[in-house]
A and B are shown apart, each in its own frame.
Chain A
């Protein structure tokens, strides 16, 4: 279980508890958080679950693998150094307290 904060572009935020083995993407879908589409269902195909990890983050996240890296070039909102596909961020106690920012658009 991990507490995840989703910050919306309008400044509001949604904080939810997400259980393993879900991903940060699935946590948003389960809680019907607007701003994560994940049309491909989490197979790192579509780039519609793009998030910006909070710049102050110190929690350990997996490395960006090649296909995630490729997909991040095509996201609807600009890629930044802290861009990730939330379907590639598995939830565990290690990322309890993670804060992600939702982009203005996913597609």
Chain B
């Protein structure tokens, strides 16, 4: 039913810039997903009008370095840019900066901006991203309590962390972002404590073996890592100190940690308000179909904000990653150009903490068997996760070859067994020689996976 509407839509809100029939495309959100969507459209020869709406005034930038190289000073502002200044004009992409989509009128097929400008669309792509969860405790609004999402957030953190004074930094949440921030703050010479409510660090994302290794690295670097501990309140200064600035983090059990700076890395919430107001189907993300179309087939959603049916879990999930945003963007660009098909890319993630390079291929949550290969003591190993004997994901610590090969094996389908991995002398690179072909089997395999796997939490 959705497909029929889509066909009639083609060419109605016609582009004036190019071929007759090419729809106007409006992309809301200029993060990784938004920028890759417009770039992929042009790279594939799309000739219609393209408008990219950026809420921030900054040129669209990469987020991964914001918690690492940008704070450390090894990546500068120009190094963050997804594309240079003249890129968008050269490709006849109207990049609207410092304006915000205020509403979508789906009957008139227009997006209205805060400035009052109206953008007609034939196809609309929501790439509205996510925003950090705030600490749900008293004192969370004190000065010196921060989250990290935007360049402005990173600039504020950088200002504090490179101010020349040794600070007591408390990081709340030991996910990738929290641990990257802890590593960065420690590298910059600060006293760092990480407070995590779960039993181990990165517990939602990785297996115990990787958790332990990473926690040990942080402790070895002099970071205090507290697990099964919750923040109950934040307190401002007393006496001659500024009462409006955080000075103490109070934990359950009553322990009080000195804090000049508190950074919360406790997850993100999808930006769905625009979709909700437009009457689109929403539920912890904008719900999309396998082609990444929302409940309105002329409106797509990609990246952090999209809740999509994953062939890797057999249910709808939301993924906050560069890979997911980029691959969904490219899929949607192809879909708009008539090359329709489901989104089936292998999820992968990476994180860098100190010299540790963590790479995750596939989704390991819900595995029933995990086999470690390599040498954990030497800090180079991978954990191969299986479910019902099938490889579902691989976590690698300083083993990039394992990671890359695993991504390919997951994409093409593999008969790798736990016994293979457990065999002495196992080396995935030997398997890499017997490579079949680039992943042409994507969709077919993914379909299979959908039936084979029961739902897991992702």
Contacts and interface: CB of A to CB of B under 8 A. Distances in A.
Nearest to A36: B43
6 contacts: A39-B322, A47-B400, A71-B404, A73-B400, A74-B403, A76-B408
B447 interface: no
Contact of B323 (A32, A39, A103): A39
B407 A107 contact: yes
A32 B35 CA distance: 11
Nearest to B412: A76
Interface string A50-84: 00000000000000000100111111111100000
Given A40-B64, A41-B62, A41-B65, A32 B87 contact: yes
Nearest to A33: B43
Contacts of A70: 399-401, 404
Interface in A77-96: 77-79
B214 interface: no
Contacts of A67: 357, 400
Nearest to B68: A43
B318 to A, nearest CB: 18
Contacts of B402: 74
A71 B400 contact: yes
Contacts of A105: 438-439
Interface string B434-445: 010011000000
A30 B87 contact: yes
Interface residues of A, number: 29
Interface string B375-406: 00000000000000000000000011111111
Contact of A74 (B65, B345, B408): B408
Interface of A: 29-30, 32-34, 37, 39-41, 43-47, 67, 70-79, 103-105, 107
A45 B401 contact: no
Contacts of A34: 40, 43-44
A104 B407 CA distance: 17
Given A71-B401, A73-B401, 9 more contacts: A29-B83, A30-B87, A34-B40, A41-B62, A46-B348, A73-B429, A76-B408, A76-B439, A104-B438
B404 A32 contact: no
B289 interface: no
A14 B433 CA distance: 31
A107 B62 contact: no
B159 to A, nearest CB: 23
Given A30-B84, A45-B400, A73 B432 contact: yes
A78 B439 CA distance: 11
Given A32-B39, A40-B322, A105-B439, A46 B350 contact: yes
A73 B404 contact: yes
Contacts of A40: 64, 322, 350
B350 A74 contact: no
A70 B322 CA distance: 21
A53 B62 CA distance: 27
A75 B39 CA distance: 22
B374 to A, nearest CB: 12
Nearest to B406: A74
B180 interface: no
Contacts of A73: 400-401, 404-405, 429, 432
A80 B442 CA distance: 23
B91 interface: yes
A40 B87 CA distance: 20
A45 B360 CA distance: 11
B401 A32 contact: no
B91 A32 contact: yes
Contact of A107 (B327, B405, B435): B327
A-B pairs, 8 with minimum CB distance:
A74-B404, A73-B401, A34-B43, A105-B438, A70-B400, A70-B401, A74-B405, A71-B400
